[in-house]
Amino acid sequence: MLQQTQVSRVLEPWRRFVNAFPTPKDCAEAPLSSVLQLWAGLGYHRRAKALHEAAKTIRDEFAGEVPSSVAALRSLPGVGEYTANAVASFAFDQKVAVLDTNVGRVLARAIANRTLSSAEARDLATRLLPKSGVASFNQAMLDLGAQHCKAAPACERCPVARVCRWKNEGGDDPAPQSAGVSRRQSTFEGSDRQLRGKVLALLRENDAEFRTVRKRLATSDKSRVDSIVEGLLRDGLIERRATRLRLAQS
């Protein structure tokens, strides 16, 4: 849920989700449509399908327990390096670095004062890990990037300003092109992402005739709606029964 989404937006859906599905098995045995219902407000709906698939894999291949090793976590659908390392560190206290866009900025600015490649950022993040308290260290790095070392950094109240290389040595900002640092997201308003969300919001209310979906989306570009619906069908997020559409069941 936290991939590309701020904590404040995740809190409420997260509570709904864990109340409905206290264990991976509960999630695995629910239809995908229930998972998509609970995903309301989060966007990037392919993550919901991947999470449902991951829950089924955990039920079938890991006896219902979330695995603790990075390699096993990486085998789950939708789980990449960042998510696997974050779960391994925060849930299982493994000694692995968590490298996201926030940490990427801190590494490039405070530690290296130069643009870092993926391998360099990963290597540097790993070398910085303390002998103990790794989860706290990772959390501190994430918070430093989220609260102070933002895209527009707030150096004046930053707790590491005294030792930050970029602050002290100067030069061009090394963060924007560095590994792990996200590029600015495209505008949401009027995007395909927004239209996909609207189709799914309609189908959360009820199954609907394709022509009703077209009408209610109130866009003059019917072919765009058609291609959005085709994309959702291809992604396995919705199903078509004759002329009707509904949220996918599995």
Contacts with ligand SF4, residue ranges (CB under 6 A)? 106, 109-110, 148-149, 153-155, 158, 160-161, 164, 166-167
What angle in degrees, to the nearest 10, is found between the helix axes of 222-234 and 192-205?
Answer: 70
Residue 173 CB, nearest distance to ligand SF4 (Å)?
8
Rounded to the nearest whole angstrom, what is the least distance from the CB of residue 8 to ligand SF4 in the complex?
A: 21
Write down the least CB distance from residue 121 to ligand SF4, Å.
15
Q: How far is the CB of 139 from ligand SF4 (least distance, A)?
A: 16
Q: DSSP labels for 41-63? A: T---THHHHHHHHHHHHHHHHST
Taking the C-alpha atoms of residue 239 and residue 210, their distance in angstroms, rounded to an integer, is 11
Query: What is the Cα 89 distance to its own chain's centre?
Result: 17
- The packing angle between helices 134-147 and 81-92, to 10°, is 130
Least separation in angstroms between residue 149's CB and ligand SF4 is 3
Residue 18 or 155 with smaller CB distance to ligand SF4: 155
- Matching residue, tokens 């959360």: 204
Give the nearer residue to ligand SF4 in terms of CB position, either 36 or 110: 110
User: Helices (DSSP H) in the chain: which residue ranges?
Assistant: 7-20, 24-29, 32-38, 46-61, 70-74, 81-92, 101-106, 118-127, 134-147, 165-169, 192-205, 210-216, 222-234
| Closest CB to ligand SF4 among residues 67, 180 | 180
Q: Which is nearer to ligand SF4, 161 or 217 (CB)?
A: 161
Nearer to ligand SF4, 160 or 217 (CB): 160
